[in-house]
Amino acid sequence: MSLFEITLSGLQQIPRGSFAVEGVKERQDLQQWLRINPVVLGENLLIIAVEFGSWEDSKRRIDLLALDEDGNLVIIELKRTEDGGHMDLQAIRYAAMISAMRFDDVVRTFEEYLKVYEPVAVDQAQVRIRQFLGTPDDEDVLISTVPRILLVSADFSLEITTTVLWLIDRGIDIRCIQIAPYKIGEKLLSEGSLTSYSI
């Protein structure tokens, strides 16, 4: 996809930039922008953890962990690189590692998140999750055992897109979301698009 500036003389194509060249960091910038505005990813998501990794014998961390409105855990794996690195393999491992999470685990995870980002709301973790899911207090909340995966990068290698399409064909909900920077003067803009999606 291309981005154009509308000027008096017509449309001026804006060349795509690079997050690395613009000094955009993966964790300090991109991760925080998406944590605050997950709607950029094209759906309503409740972020419940940043750098999630509460498992034994592993130092791996999920960049962002979210819930969707259907009670699915959503792994959001970010890469600042131009090809996505090995994010597909990382995300599949993460999906397996969190597939056993239940509602109580999700509430505890969200409480830890709120302690950092909204300390005054820690005791509202369960209420907020129920409100987000539209689940009354007297009903059990079921969390899916098959997490969804969102891969977010400036671009994706053929290896990643081939893997993603193969997984989609086998019923795995995995998507590639391309977020690329553009610069006009001193303004840094971003264009995002879903490059492949689940069926």
Nearest to 151 by CA among 107, 53, 85: 85
Q: What is the mean pLDDT of each run of 10 residues along the chain (199 residues)?
A: 72 70 71 90 95 74 95 92 77 93 96 96 96 92 94 89 94 89 63 40
What's the whole-model pTM score? 0.84
The correct CATH number of 3-196 out of 2.40.40.20, 3.40.47.10, 3.30.420.130, 3.40.1350.10 is: 3.40.1350.10
Which pLDDT tens digit goes with each residue over 151-163?
A: 998 888 899 999 9
What is the C-alpha separation between 77 and 90, in angstroms, rounded? 8
Domain ranges of the chain: 3-196
What are the start-end ranges of the E strands in the chain? 3-7, 10-14, 45-52, 62-68, 73-79, 148-153, 174-184, 187-196
- For every residue of 132-171, DSSP letters joined together read HHT--TTSPPPPPSS-EEEEEES---HHHHHHHHHHHHTT
